[in-house]
Chains A and B, each alone.
Chain A
């Protein structure tokens, strides 16, 4: 530590205990809010809180500074008990400029706290945010507790010893804000300081500036006496073990690597950059020593086609995509259905149609995954429910793909992809063994028939190039049952169509039964899938806390459905299906089981608030 660095003031102030708090950091895209939120999250995770996060950033890389379009926010819910969602409404809003205040204030809990950067409230800043008058003085903030802190100028002053120019010095103001909030909620500062140290190791001045800004923010909280008191959120009572904080996309990439290890197959990813799936490509590209080949293809179609080529050659073929990418891959997926080769399609759903809302979450690809191809082209579908669950479900998707020689859709979404949660690390030795054997000899007398099926799974043999004697030709034209030769015979087409359907339907025998969180006397079942899990579970808890009975089930397998699902649904007079679309799962349920499932829909680019689902459940009960 140099002389210029003040020590952290660590008096033990009287702190008020909270069981949880929801904080939203909001600022301009260039203000580093994602990083600030991420660091706060990390130190909370290490501290031992339960947590869930919700990053929310604009699609534009650099929207005009200070405008509403350029606001980037990061919400985190930290708690001393189990957390299911990033929180309905923030308790605290950190607003780095007027635009951030304006676009986020409405979400803030009544009587909540606003911490704002008062240096950013000049006339021009207000105008850019569309404020006719200064909201600090016109009553707009009545009802909230407001702390005005001149963050920019305090940062510039704190950073002065580094000799950084004011313009550069200003850039550390997010670390000042992080220092203030870290003090306010008693986060262990060392986690953040250590991280600054390693992250900026190669940039001495920046490192020093960020460190000084963070300390100044912390000490400001301690000494400025503007806050009545600090708070503490005690560590949660987590299952013992080793944890890391993980996002859905990272969990997906690691799960794939695990699937490669557990199947003994090299991984081939064919992908075209597309938000919000691209981070999987980024992450996998780093881990080539696990036998991972990544190809940034010329387009979405080439990405999936190259993966099909790799699958034909005996690799674990994977393609990642989102939004319009799914449309573009449809034809190739039909080919994969016809070739009956293992293939994984990781669809990180986003708002549609067309370009839609690239950075916002939605669950509107379910019907597309289910039916979005010409002809009868069934594809199994699975869906993870939380960020870390992506790890588990991608292994499950690979298991199904390999065992049944079929493309499999995994439907994640923007919320799971970018959201994080603490994850109890699994014992890698105990992950499922999903290895499969390649065909190694004739299967029909002295001949090899590429479409002679396993009577149990209906899967065809996987014979890879390089295996002498098993040379064969396959393609998208209808094939004769057994030999795989081209066949235009109508009866054969009928047989093959039904076989492909039966193969996928038969997977139902090989997946877990529906897990129902039942309650005595429950007349309403809330059925969900994918990322709505947290909001639904939180809503169910609240309903029960009100003394009402409700049951919950969350599907991880959407095609086929678990074999007992029909029976489960019929046990409840009312079924509510919350989903971030206009009713995909509910339609499938109604069609399949003739059950009056009611959709609760939302397509606002944001996950459900628990309260929205709570209201719907209560209404259904009454």
Chain B
């Protein structure tokens, strides 16, 4: 167990340079506050990011860190995690970085189940390049690159992660510090690839993108908290619930109308990601009641452990490495 630390110990001496009011500050504060509680060492912690506003994150942590190139953080972090299973490796990415230019790496990192804690800041916009629509922007988004509105369909990061059979998939948002901390803690403690989408407000280029669900007065009716083993209910008095329709889709109903026994009990440990996927499809965007919390948390061997297990097994089977013997492993002959 590491020496006790404080939030300050985890904060680097670099000035934080996001726009005033940016949701990123809240996420940074949540992670810096969480770190001392995790019982881990700064020296053994690595933050890897790509490019984008969110990707400045590693500079603000007093840990090892790398601000890599656009979209490639999951690949870089895979190299770190596989070569050094003793390290605690975090990936900080955004909707452009992780889902557009780096979409391929994210998918494969999740499928491989690399032992990483991946935090995706979703603000539904490109911030660093000053406001173009992103792969999570709603259709019709008017930006500088789409003055007549965007015409391409966005994807849903949670559905995507579940489709890749990620072993841990969760969603949180930048206005609820407590929920963020608890979600990040769960993600960190998960062995394997943990994926967390954070709804993050870009107050400069996409202010209020999540207002319809995150405004204080909206939250009770617009956020559907997921708790393992509990019926999925929301509303000021829990009057609403998620029910399974005969066709397999999920729907929202008044609990009084359908009866408590029909309300779906959330089971994040279901091996089949199908139901979690259906949950991720409940809202078509952040203007309909949206589930937050842990969608899926299952056990599966992680890539780095398996790779290193093969190394150990090979050493046991073949004994100490003998270079001379390797060079003689083909047919050899002697002259003179």
**What 1/0 flags go to B61-91 for Cβ under 8 Å of A?**
1111111110010011111111110110000
B333 at the interface (CB under 8 A from A): yes
Stretch from A25-33, A54-62, A310-318, A556-564 contacting the other chain: A310-318
How far, in angstroms, from A557 to B234 measured CA to CA in the complex?
69
> Would B43 and A468 count as touching, CB distance under 8 A?
yes
A133 at the interface (CB under 8 A from B): no
**What 1/0 flags go to A43-58 for Cβ under 8 Å of B?**
0011010000000000
Stretch from A3-11, A161-169, A297-305 contacting the other chain: A297-305
B321 at the interface (CB under 8 A from A): yes
> Would B66 and A474 count as touching, CB distance under 8 A?
yes
**A428 with B319: in contact, given A317-B79, A472-B64 (CB under 8 Å)?**
no
The size bracket of the interface on B is 35 or more
Q: How far is the CB of A477 from chain B (nearest CB, A)?
A: 7
> Would A312 and B86 count as touching, CB distance under 8 A?
no
**A313 with B72: in contact, given A46-B333, A240-B335, A243-B334 (CB under 8 Å)?**
no
> Would A305 and B83 count as touching, CB distance under 8 A?
no
> Would B332 and A242 count as touching, CB distance under 8 A?
yes
Residue with the highest number of chain B CB atoms closer than 10 Å, among A241, A246, A288, A314: A288
Q: Residue of B at shortest CB range from A485? A: B14
The size bracket of the interface on A is 35 or more
> Would B66 and A310 count as touching, CB distance under 8 A?
no
B139 at the interface (CB under 8 A from A): no
Which residues of chain A are near B317, meaning CB under 8 Å? Answer: 289
Which residues of chain A are near B104, meaning CB under 8 Å? Answer: 298-299, 302
> Would A245 and B83 count as touching, CB distance under 8 A?
no
B58 at the interface (CB under 8 A from A): yes
> Would A428 and B323 count as touching, CB distance under 8 A?
yes
Which residues of chain B are near A311, meaning CB under 8 Å? Answer: 79
Q: Which residue of B63, B69, B315 contacts A335 across the interface (Cβ within 8 Å)?
A: B69
B44 at the interface (CB under 8 A from A): yes
A308 at the interface (CB under 8 A from B): yes
> Would B332 and A425 count as touching, CB distance under 8 A?
yes
How far, in angstroms, from A287 to B326 measured CA to CA in the complex?
9
B20 at the interface (CB under 8 A from A): no
> Would B68 and A476 count as touching, CB distance under 8 A?
yes
Stretch from B214-222, B224-232, B281-289, B306-314 contacting the other chain: B306-314
Q: Which residue of A235, A245, A290, A472 contacts B331 across the interface (Cβ within 8 Å)?
A: A245
How far, in angstroms, from A332 to B72 measured CA to CA in the complex?
9
> Would A301 and B330 count as touching, CB distance under 8 A?
no
Q: How far is the CB of B84 from chain A (nearest CB, A)?
A: 4
Q: How far is the CB of B58 from chain A (nearest CB, A)?
A: 5
How far, in angstroms, from A468 to B5 measured CA to CA in the complex?
14
B48 at the interface (CB under 8 A from A): yes
Which residues of chain A are near B44, meaning CB under 8 Å? Answer: 465-466
Which residues of chain A are near B186, meaning CB under 8 Å? Answer: none
Q: Which residue of B76, B84, B308 contacts A465 across the interface (Cβ within 8 Å)?
A: B84
> Would B84 and A466 count as touching, CB distance under 8 A?
yes
> Would B311 and A305 count as touching, CB distance under 8 A?
no
B336 at the interface (CB under 8 A from A): yes
> Would B72 and A242 count as touching, CB distance under 8 A?
no
Q: How far is the CB of B304 from chain A (nearest CB, A)?
A: 9
> Would A314 and B84 count as touching, CB distance under 8 A?
yes
> Would A288 and B84 count as touching, CB distance under 8 A?
no
**A313 with B335: in contact, given A291-B311, A466-B87, A473-B12 (CB under 8 Å)?**
no
Q: Residue of A at shortest CB range from B67? A: A475
B144 at the interface (CB under 8 A from A): no
A266 at the interface (CB under 8 A from B): yes
Q: Which residue of B61, B79, B323, B333 contacts A45 across the interface (Cβ within 8 Å)?
A: B333
How far, in angstroms, from A270 to B114 measured CA to CA in the complex?
15
Q: How far is the CB of A340 from chain B (nearest CB, A)?
A: 12
**A48 with B76: in contact, given A428-B323, A468-B43 (CB under 8 Å)?**
no
> Would B327 and A244 count as touching, CB distance under 8 A?
yes
Q: Which residue of A292, A295, A469, A470 contacts B78 across the interface (Cβ within 8 Å)?
A: A295
A331 at the interface (CB under 8 A from B): yes
Residues of B72-118 contacting chain A, CB below 8 A? 72, 75-84, 86-87, 104-105, 107-108
> Would A306 and B64 count as touching, CB distance under 8 A?
no
> Would A425 and B43 count as touching, CB distance under 8 A?
no
> Would B78 and A309 count as touching, CB distance under 8 A?
yes
Which residues of chain B are near A339, meaning CB under 8 Å? Answer: 66
> Would B333 and A240 count as touching, CB distance under 8 A?
no
**A313 with B43: in contact, given A293-B307, A295-B307, A476-B67 (CB under 8 Å)?**
no
A42 at the interface (CB under 8 A from B): yes
Which residues of chain A are near B328, meaning CB under 8 Å? Answer: 242, 244, 425
Q: Which residue of B14, B45, B79 contacts A268 across the interface (Cβ within 8 Å)?
A: B79
Q: How far is the CB of B2 from chain A (nearest CB, A)?
A: 10
A239 at the interface (CB under 8 A from B): yes
**A289 with B87: in contact, given A240-B335, A241-B334, A258-B323 (CB under 8 Å)?**
no
B46 at the interface (CB under 8 A from A): yes
Given contacts A268-B82, A291-B321, A472-B64, 12 further A-B contacts (CB under 8 A): A240-B336, A242-B334, A244-B328, A288-B314, A293-B311, A313-B79, A315-B79, A425-B328, A466-B43, A473-B61, A474-B67, A486-B59
Top 5 A-B pairs, shortest CB-CB distance: A309-B79, A240-B336, A475-B67, A306-B79, A305-B75
Task: Pull 7 A–B residue pairs with CB atoms less than 8 Å apart, ordered by A.
Answer: A45-B333, A48-B335, A238-B335, A302-B75, A313-B80, A471-B43, A474-B67
Show the binding face of A for B, using Cβ within 8 Å. 42, 45-46, 48, 191, 195, 235, 238-246, 254, 257-258, 261, 266, 268, 270, 287-293, 295, 297-299, 301-302, 305-315, 317, 331-332, 334-335, 339, 425-426, 428, 465-477, 485-486
